[in-house]
Every structure is written in structure tokens, then in C-alpha cells.
Structure 1
Amino acid sequence: MNKCIFIMRDIPACSKSLYFRFLLALYCVLWTGYLFLHLYYWPSLEDEKFLESWLKVQTERQALVEKTCLNKDDLQFGVPEIDLKNFVYEPHNNLLYCYHPKVSTSTWFQQILVNSNAPDEVKSNTSLHTVIPRLFTPKNLAYLRNHVPTSISFTMVRHPFERLVSAYKDKIQIFWDKVYDDKRKEILNEYGNLKFESFIEHVLHEAEKSCTRIDTCILDRHWQPFFSRCAYCQIPYSYLLKHETIEEDMRAMALITKIPFKSVHWNKSKGNTRDLVKEFFMRLNQTQIDALKRLYESDFQMFDYNPDFLLY
């Protein structure tokens, strides 16, 4: 714009016809618009190359989900009981998010809230897991279905065994979460301790009762299989993200949606994740490990996770 002002100032008075000034003003408007688009909307060459590569990965992830659904009759033809509490729809940015606890949920809740049109006093509320569901849980199934085709829909997953260890450490081993007092008492009464192997026995025992179908597995949401929460064979998500690639995925989402996503509340795992999972799973016997592989089999297949990768 300064360039335009400079040109206008130096034009001789005799040349400043109304028509010429109109053309020059139009040029200035177009030039300013070009600069605005270039700075704020058009990705750089580096960003374009990054997005091209990232979108190829997305195509591969979506193809694998589709393949898994086709190979599993219960997943393909079953009608899952969709729990609206698993979903967040933020209308200001048209975002539809199906979330899995212990999979960067706090990060995405924070991003969704700060970029919404909620009042500032609400955005400053640190009780994300109370505020977000209250504000953005779809009001009914019809409302959810109406927004699936037109929204920017996404979900994020994580290696099932890593998530299982994280859930144990956060909800069972550490006593800070009073909501899980009853769960800890239940495991104590059943097995006499709160060791990881007792927790796993509890999960497997509950799964025997509650996971009679592959598409419906009603376990605690912190270790419930992914496929039974987000109806992957019924909802064609725009983007499938992974905890392991959160920085790349968040960067790509920001470029595509023009929403300034930033990792402002990213709970990164402490230490070496693989060593941590290996340490906990060494306490289990082979029967328990095999049972866990069967429980999360569809998750491993659908999202290309190797069940043995973190164990050996």
C-alpha cells in the first residue's frame, strides 16, 4: 500500500485525470489484496510440498480404514450405537472431532476452544474436559448426521498399548483423580492390589462381558477400543491424525483450515515411550498379551499399528 501512496504522490497534476486515478486506485486495491492473500492464505512452496506429502499419507490412512471395514463384516454392516458424548462440533469453524481420551485430547480441546467464538471468560477456563462437552457436544444424532458431510471432520489415534499404559498410570497408579476412586477400589477388591497385571485382568474380564460384538465394546472410555467409539466404517472423516505425528498433523490442519492451531497444551509422554511400554508389558504373561491383541485387533489393523513394535 505504501508503494501505491508513493506513486500517487509523484504523479504530475496534469496527468491526474479522474479515469487515471480510478485505474491507479484499482491497481492499489488489487495489489493489496494480492499481498494479503499471499501472506495469509497462499501457502509457501515449502508448505505446498509438505501438504502434498501429508495428503498422500492421509489417502493411505483412509484407504486402510476402508479396507479394514470391508474385511470385517461386523464393522461394515453393523450399526454401532453412536455415543454423542464422543463427539465435539464447533460451529464457528465447522469442526467435527471424535476424540479418544489419552490421545492428545487436552491439546485439541484447547485448540478448539481458543479458536471458537466463545466469550473470553469461557476461553480462559482451564476445566477443558467440562467446558468443551458442555458447549460443543452435538444435541442429537440427527444434528450430528447433518454436519458430517459438510464439516471438517477429524479424529486422532495412538498405539493401543501405549494408550493403555498411559491410562493405567494416569487413572489407576496415581491417586490424584478422585473420579477413579471407585474403579481402584473395584480392582483392589478383585485382585488385592493395583498392579498393572491386575489392571489388565480387570480390563480383559470387563471385555469378556461387554465386547460381545466387534463394533460395540462398552469399556471405560480411557481404554475402550477406537473402532467402537467413532464409527469409522459409517463416518467418512476428512482427516485421520495420529498422536505419533501430532506436530506434522497440527501444522497441516492449520494450513488447510486456516485456523491458527498451535501446540499450547501438549501433554508429551515423559521418557522413552517404547521402553515404558516394554517395562509394563514384561509383567504380563503371554495369555494376557494375546488377549489384548485380540481385543484391539481392529485398531491395530485399521490404523497400521504393529502390536509387537513396542514390546520387543
Structure 2
Amino acid sequence: MGVWRGFRVAFTLGSLFMILMIFVYWDDIGNFNFYPQKHSKHGTLHAECCNWTMIRQSQFQSTNSSPTTTSITVSTTTASSAPIPDQDHADKQQNKDKLEQMRKKTLEEGEPESTSFSVDDKEQEVRKQMIMDVCSGKNFLEFPGRTQAFEQIPNRELDHLIVDDTHQIIYCYVPKVACTNWKRVMVVLSQSLISPSSGKPYTDPGAVPSNLVHNSSLHLTFAKFWRHYGSLSRHLMTVKLQHYTKFLFVRDPFVRLISAFRNKFGRPNEDFYKEFGSVMLSRYSNLSEALPNTAAEAFAAGIKPTFHQFIKYLLDPETEADSVFNEHWRQVYRLCHPCQVKYDFIGRLETLESDAAHLLKLLKVDNLLHFPLGARNRTAASWEEDWFAQIPLETQRELYRLYEPDFRLFGYPKPDRVLHH
């Protein structure tokens, strides 16, 4: 018994000694931390998300902020070091002095005091505030999904949110709003398409074939997360929405409708004729003879949907009940969910060139590529009055009510010259 009792005493004393050592040398134990996110908001959250540790916040700091360095592992000795914040303050003051000197020099030379970036940033704040006001109910506009939580949005309705993990970007594409060129940009950034001529990924967005860029297999979207991550998919979406830079481009809703109609029904398009055009003709054209089987035959016979028939189709309760709103005329709030996704940048087609240049700089990829502008066949806003001239006034008002959330969310004025009130 004496030997056993001695062993117990020795074991107890050894355990107490080890506990004491842990308390004394706690900071040196392998950087162990029960709450890593308190020290680093960009800590690794999952093996699939390793590149979330890259810092995106610095892209939206003002130019008078000094560069900061964030480490995944933060020790107590580093955090409590006094000279670092002093040096940081000195650097900030030095940068402020430089900016003030540049401002004075600009004024002396007769240049405008404000830069295009300050104007663009202010405009972005205005655009984002419009969305917040409408989504909060401040403007007393109700529409489906306004108060819906992001977790309640079905996966199939997240198929327009393209994710680039390499550069930590999320782009919600809207058809008929320069989406072909923005998809080209996303293909180049993600290096998801090989050029047959070079055998390497495309580096010039303008060189990416337009007939390939809409191939859904080239883009990782939120709708595909369930397939890749299973039960973790919603959690990963939430974290990426929090840390990644999110953007979309919008357009006057009525002008977008005109563009969609011209593109899909103004010339033979077999797929759209069979799925939509033939339905419009059979419902609203009062044809006494059978419809041609193909778009080519229909156009050759002078049989094709009119813009009025297209509008009637959009307003038809049967159309809405069948949930067959194609992405080319589906409302932007249903494509991109601006009340659930807090976008960092809202671009407009009407200011595409300046907005694109501003965005690429904010994303810090302007040194990698240029937005492919070139020749574009745009539907002009000035055409709106002519296109709606033959549409009855009450029909125009119904159409406005259908797309009113997009008008209000993105700051487009109510088309008084079309609605006459």
C-alpha cells in the first residue's frame, strides 16, 4: 500500500506542476486559441476556403490610409507593442501631408480639385443608399422577397451569382446589361478557358469567344455550391458574401425589355420561337392558319411576335403562374436579390465605360486586363417613346407596376413621358 500511495502522490504533484506550467507559458503553446476570429477576421474557416485569408478590405480604404499588414496568427506580445500604432499614425500623417500638397498643386495649376474617383465613390454611396431605402420599406414599396432571408432563397435562384475565389469577387450577371463582356472578364480572372491558339488560359477578355462565354460550365455559381460542398454550402455562401467584393450592372428596365425583344424576337431564333414566340402568336395574334414549325419559316412568311404581344405575354397571369419569366426579361431583384446581398458596387450600362474603369481599379485587377468595350449594338434610351407609342396607356401602367421594384431600387426615374402622368 505504501508504494501505491507514493505513486498517487507523485502523479498528483506532477499533474499540478504541468497545470502550473501551462498557465505560466500559455502564450507559447503552439498559438492555440479557442477564438481565432477575435484576432483575425480573415482566419481560415474551412479547407475549401483557404484563400479567404487574403485581405479585401484594403481595396476600399481611402487613399490617406497607410498600408496595414494582417497576420493569421497574432501573439499577445505583438498586439501589445507600443511603437507600431505610433509608426502607423506617423505614416498616416505623412500621407495626409502628401495629399494636401498634391491638392494645393492641383489648384495652382487650375485643375479641378475633386478627382473622378471621389465623384464615383460618392455616386456609389447614393446608389447603395437607394437600395437600402427600398429594401427597408422606407419607400413603402412591397414586392416578393423584400423581407426574405438569404437562407430562404432556393438554390436554383442563385444561379446568377458567379464566384471567383482567386480574386475574391462575386458578380451577379443581368442579361442585356453587358453581361457577355463581364462574363469574359470573369473567365479571364478565373482562367477557366484555354485558348486553342496559345494552349494557355485567355488573358484578353475581348479574345474570349462570345458563343462560349455563356457556357454555364465555365462559371462557379452559388447554385452549384450544394453539389460541391453539401451541407456546408450555405455557410460558405454567407462567409464569402461577407468577405468578397460583390458587384452587378443594371439598366433602365423598359429599355432592357426593348433590347431583349429585339435580340430574341427581332430575328429568327429557333429556341425562343419554340418556347415563347409561338406561345405569343397562338395566344394573341388571331391567326386562322397553323403556325409555322420553325422560326425561319415564320419569318419568311412575315409571321413574328410584335412588341405589343410581348408585353401582353409578360402581363398575362398565366405566364406569371407558370414561373416562365426567362432571365432576359426577369426582374433584376429576382435575379440578384439586392435586399439580401449587400453589393459593394452597382454599375449602370448608361455609364458603363467610367463605371467599368472604376470597378477594375477597386478590384485591383486593372493591371491584369481591360474591360472590352469596342463596338456595341445598344438599344438607345431615346427609342423608348417610339417603342411604347402603340402600347395602350393602361398596359404601360401595368408593365411599370411589374418592374417598379427595379426602377425604385436602382434609381431610374418613373417614365413620365411613357406613362403620361
TM-score by length of 2: 0.57
Percent of residue pairs identical: 21
**Residues 67 and 111 (structure 1), Cα distance of their counterparts in 2 relative to 1, 3 Å cut:** same
SS at match of 1:120: coil
Q: 137, 142, 148: which is aligned to 2:221?
A: 137
RMSD, aligned CA: 2.7
The match for 1:194 is 305
Which digits, 9 at most, give the CA deviation of each residue in 1:215-244, with x for residues without a partner?
xx7621111111112111111111111111
SS at match of 2:175: coil
Deviates more, 1:200-209 or 1:120-129: 120-129
1:107 has 2:200 as partner: no
Q: Is the contact made by 2:158 and 2:335 (CA closer than 8 Å) also made in structure 1?
A: no
Q: Is the contact made by 1:157 and 1:241 (CA closer than 8 Å) also made in structure 2?
A: yes
**Residues 218 and 178 (structure 1), Cα distance of their counterparts in 2 relative to 1, 3 Å cut:** closer
Give the superposition deviation at 1:301.
0.9
Which digits, 9 at most, give the CA deviation of each residue in 1:81-127, with x for residues without a partner?
35121111112221101111111101101111123333533634543
1:296 has 2:403 as partner: yes
1:268 has 2:376 as partner: yes
Give the superposition deviation at 1:265.
5.1
- CA distance, structure 2, for counterparts of residue 126 and residue 64 of structure 1: 33
SS at match of 1:149: helix
Gaps of 5+ in 2: 1-105, 107-111, 196-200, 203-207, 226-232, 286-303
**Residues 119 and 69 (structure 1), Cα distance of their counterparts in 2 relative to 1, 3 Å cut:** closer
- CA distance, structure 2, for counterparts of residue 305 and residue 206 of structure 1: 26
Which digits, 9 at most, give the CA deviation of each residue in 1:150-195, with x for residues without a partner?
11100111000000000000011211x3321211111111122511
Q: Is the contact made by 2:253 and 2:406 (CA closer than 8 Å) also made in structure 1?
A: yes
SS at match of 2:215: helix
The match for 2:93 is none
Aligned length: 261
Which digits, 9 at most, give the CA deviation of each residue in 1:121-147, with x for residues without a partner?
363454344335543223225243231
**Residues 277 and 266 (structure 1), Cα distance of their counterparts in 2 relative to 1, 3 Å cut:** farther
Q: Is the contact made by 2:187 and 2:218 (CA closer than 8 Å) also made in structure 1?
A: no
Q: Is the contact made by 1:184 and 1:194 (CA closer than 8 Å) also made in structure 2?
A: yes
The match for 2:242 is 149
Q: Which structure has the larger Rg?
A: 2
- CA distance, structure 2, for counterparts of residue 248 and residue 47 of structure 1: 19
The match for 1:42 is none
Instruction: Find runs of 4+ consecutive structure 1 residues off by over 6 angstroms.
Output: 45-48
The match for 2:134 is 68
The match for 1:40 is none
- CA distance, structure 1, for counterparts of residue 113 and residue 357 of structure 2: 9
Give the superposition deviation at 1:208.
6.7
1:49 has 2:160 as partner: no
**Residues 257 and 170 (structure 1), Cα distance of their counterparts in 2 relative to 1, 3 Å cut:** same
**Residues 158 and 174 (structure 1), Cα distance of their counterparts in 2 relative to 1, 3 Å cut:** same
Gaps of 5+ in 1: 1-44, 212-216
The residue type equivalent to 1:308 in the other structure is P
SS at match of 1:58: helix
- CA distance, structure 1, for counterparts of residue 123 and residue 210 of structure 2: 34
Q: 330, 354, 376: which is aligned to 1:248?
A: 354
